[in-house]
A and B are shown apart, each in its own frame.
Chain A
C-alpha cells in the first residue's frame, strides 16, 4: 500500500506543475494518471500558446492566474530547458464591425491588467505580416502572447518534480476516493489503494468524474474539440506572429501561428461533444478551419499540411475556472474549468494550489534541496558541428541519425527511453524528441523507433505501442513466430 502526503490526480500540465511546486516542501508527492505517459489530454493537443490573459473574463480567477503566469515563463523555460519564443500576437480587424470591437477588446485587456496591448494601423500590420489579408483596417498587437513546446513543458515539469522527490504512477486510474470523518484519506486505483493525507483533483477532462467520487460534482465537463492543421516547415505562406481572429464567447477562434519548431499551426475549431474519447478529425471540421483562416491569411496553403490532429478542451458546465475546497470534504482541492488557458495557467496554478493546501492545513517545511533546474536531453540538431562531433565521441549512438526529417539520433532516443520519466511508446518518444513529427510522419524513422524501443525496454516488438495499451504497432513476427502475437 502506497502512503503519500499529497496525491495529485492527473499528470497534465497542471498536475505536473502542482507536483513540482509541492516538492519545494518536505512532502511526499505522488502523481497518478490513467495514461501510459505524462502529458494529460488537452496538454498534449493544443495550440502551444502561452497567453497573456488579455481576453479572459475580467475579475475572475482565470484572469488572475493567466495574467500572473505569463511573465513567469521566461525564467521557467530557462530553468526547465524548454524551447520558448516570444513571437507576439496580432489581432487584425477586416470589417467595420470587427474594427468597432477593437476598443472593447483593448478595454478588456486593461481590465485584465494586460496594459501592453497597442493599436496598430492596417499598414503597420501588413508590414509585420505581409501575408495578412490586404483588407485589414487596423488591429491590436499583443506582444506577450508567446509560443512554447507543450510536450516538453509537461515532461520537464514532471522530470523536475521527480528529480526533487515526487513519484509518478502511470497507467493508474483512480476508481474511488476514500473518506473518513469528513476528510479524504486516500484513493482506490486500478493499481491498488493509495493512502493520502491530501488529494488534488487535476484530472482535467475527467475532473467531474473524480469530483463525483466525493459528491462534489455540481458541474459537468464535456469535451470541446479543436481540430488543427500542421503545415510543412517549407510552406510558402507563413506568419511570424500569432495571428488571432476576433474572439467570441465560445472560443478564441481559428488562428494561424508558427510553432516553436518552425512549422505553421492552423486552427482550432470549437465543437461541443459528449464523448471524451472522440479524438477524430472530420472533413467538415477541417474544412471550416480553412474557410475561417483564409479570411486572415488568404494565401495559406493547406495542401502543405503534414498532419492534422484534434484536442479536447475540458469545458466546464457552468463555465469558469474554479479551485475549490470544502468544509465537508476536507483535505481535498478540486480544480475545474481549466480550459483554453490551462497550459499557461499551469505555472501559477501550481503555486496557487500549493498555497491553497497550506491554507487548509497542509504542514509546510521548506525543502532546501529543491533544485529548479532540469537538464533536457542534449539535442543533436541544435548543436554546432564541433559540439556534434564531441557528442558522437562521447556517445557513438549520437552518430546514427534515425529521424531524417528532424535530424534526431539514436543516442537521443535511447536517452529518452531511459530518462526518469521514460518514454515507453512510439508517441512518448515522438513528443519528447519530435521523431515522427517531420514531413514523412514516421515513415522512415518509425520502423527504427519500434526496434530501438523493443531493444531498450527488453520486450518483444509485438508489445510496443503507439500510445495506450491496445495500440500495438506490430501484430507478430513474419518468421519464427514463437513470440506471442499480441492482442
Chain B
C-alpha cells in the first residue's frame, strides 16, 4: 500500500491530491477539486509518463548536436534508461525536423524524433 501526494498541474491552483493505492489499484483519493485533477492524479499515480527532450550527437555538420524529443510521453521510470540509449546514437548530417532518430525507444511505442534541423 503506497500513499503519494501529487501536485496537480492542469491549472494554476495546483491542488495537492493524496492518493492511496497499490500499484494500479487506487483505494482512495482526496484533495482534488475537479474531474481533470482527478484524472491527472490517477494517471500520475498509476502510470506517470513524461515527454523526454534531450540532444543527439551529429557528425558532418558545424553544429555538434540536434535537439530531440520523444513524440509521445514515455513511462517516467524509463527516462534514465532512454537517456543511456540516446547517448550511444550518432547521426549523420543533414538531419531534418521530425526525422525519426530512434524508433520505438525501449519498446515504449514512442519514437525519438528531431525537433530541429541541422544542415551539412
Bound together, the chains give a CA A149 to CA B5 distance in angstroms of: 59
Quick one: which of B33-80 are within 8 Å of A by CB?
Answer: 55-57, 64-65
* Chain A residues closer than 8 Å to B106, beta-carbon distance: none
How near does chain A come to B65, taking the closest CB pair, in angstroms? 7
**A479 close to chain B: CB less than 8 A:** yes
**A480 close to chain B: CB less than 8 A:** yes
Bound together, the chains give a CA A458 to CA B57 distance in angstroms of: 21
Bound together, the chains give a CA A478 to CA B54 distance in angstroms of: 10
Q: List the 6 closest pairs (A to B, CB-CB), nearest first.
A: A479-B57, A480-B57, A479-B65, A479-B87, A479-B55, A478-B55
**B9 close to chain A: CB less than 8 A:** no
Q: Is the interface of A mostly helix, strand, loop or mixed?
A: loop
Nearest B-chain residue to A479, judged by Cβ: B57
B residues contacting A by CB (< 8 A) are 55-57, 64-65, 87, 90
Bound together, the chains give a CA A479 to CA B56 distance in angstroms of: 7
Bound together, the chains give a CA A202 to CA B86 distance in angstroms of: 55
Q: What are 12 of the A-B contact pairs (CB < 8 Å)? A: A478-B55, A478-B65, A479-B55, A479-B56, A479-B57, A479-B64, A479-B65, A479-B87, A479-B90, A480-B57, A480-B64, A480-B90
Using C-beta atoms within 8 Å of the partner chain, give the interface range for chain A. Answer: under 10
**Interface 0/1 of A473-487, CB less than 8 Å to B:** 000001110000000
Bound together, the chains give a CA A478 to CA B87 distance in angstroms of: 9
Bound together, the chains give a CA A480 to CA B57 distance in angstroms of: 7
How near does chain B come to A174, taking the closest CB pair, in angstroms? 42
* Chain B residues closer than 8 Å to A480, beta-carbon distance: 57, 64, 90
* Chain B residues closer than 8 Å to A479, beta-carbon distance: 55-57, 64-65, 87, 90
How near does chain B come to A461, taking the closest CB pair, in angstroms? 11
Bound together, the chains give a CA A480 to CA B56 distance in angstroms of: 9
Other than the given A479-B55, A480-B64, 10 more pairs (CB < 8 A) read: A478-B55, A478-B65, A479-B56, A479-B57, A479-B64, A479-B65, A479-B87, A479-B90, A480-B57, A480-B90
* Chain B residues closer than 8 Å to A478, beta-carbon distance: 55, 65
Nearest B-chain residue to A481, judged by Cβ: B87
Bound together, the chains give a CA A478 to CA B63 distance in angstroms of: 13
Bound together, the chains give a CA A478 to CA B86 distance in angstroms of: 12
* Chain A residues closer than 8 Å to B56, beta-carbon distance: 479
How near does chain A come to B66, taking the closest CB pair, in angstroms? 10
Nearest A-chain residue to B90, judged by Cβ: A480
Nearest B-chain residue to A480, judged by Cβ: B57
